[in-house]
Amino acid sequence: MTDFKSTIAFGVIGLGRFGFSLAEMLADNGREVLVLDNNESKVRQIQDKVQQAFVITQPDKSTLEEAGIQNCGTVIVCIGEHVEASILTTLNVIELGVPRVIAKAISAEHGRVLQKIGAEVVYPERDRAVRLANTLTRPRAMDYLDLSDQYAISEIRLSNRLHGKTILGLEFRKRFGLNIIAIVRGNETIVEITPDLQLKTEDLIAVVGKKESILKFERYLAS
């Protein structure tokens, strides 16, 4: 395991469903990816899609260094089910000097430990559940992404209530407390949101702001 590039964009450790899908999507988006897992079959499945793929039996510091994980700009530790292995692997990656380390957590306690040792934390199962719940309970919300406890990004399908109205005429930011970051209209995506832009029924708009403001806007469209 010595033939690796001096720099590589992403490292993914753990090829469960989350890790495998993540590595595959990064590679499909043209990014260089190094993957590590203890399952030879999973490594074989993905080795033709990524830059480097190695089977490692123990994610100790010397093995990770031999694989070249320290040369990655970002490493995502996707070992969720085995909490001790997840924490030790994350710690080893951080101590090897990787600039950005992201780790998958399966519980709040697991996440707190990962944060304390210096990792960014993602909760794939919880995040999927939150997004599904928001989609099911907010009929005009097409997608929803939490940014923090207070703020979110939401894609909202407009009703005919706003058809023909301009951003300026609505006083959109002042009235709803939201910023429009993009509008999808048919096959066109509009990112230059000018004051004289007219909204149309069935426009899909992406807004960012406080969660309470997003909910207020959705209720306005539904009324």
Tell me how far apart the alpha carbons of residues 111 and 184 are, in angstroms, rounded to a whole number: 36
Per-residue pLDDT tens digits for 14-25: 998 889 989 998
pLDDT at residue 123 tops 90: no
| Tens-digit pLDDT profile for residues 52-70 | 999 998 889 999 999 999 9
List the strands of the sheet with 141-146, edge to edge: 141-146, 151-157, 204-210, 178-185, 188-190
| pLDDT at residue 107 greater than cutoff 80 | yes
* Contact predicate 217/156, CB 8 Å: yes
- The radius of gyration computed from the CA coordinates of the chain, to the nearest angstrom, equals 22
| All structural domains of the chain | 8-122 (3.40.50.720), 129-222 (3.30.70.1450)
Using 50, 70 and 90 to split pLDDT, how confident is the model at 113? very high
Answer yes or no: is pLDDT of 131 > 90.
no
Q: What is the pLDDT of residues 163-181, one digit of tens each?
A: 989 989 888 888 889 998 8
Q: Across all residues in the chain, what is the average pLDDT?
A: 86
Rounding to the nearest 10 degrees, give the CA dihedral for residues 113, 114, 116, 118: 170
Q: DSSP string covering 58-109, please? A: ---HHHHHHHTGGGEEEEEE---S-HHHHHHHHHHHHHTT-SEEEEE-SSHH
pLDDT of residue 2: 43
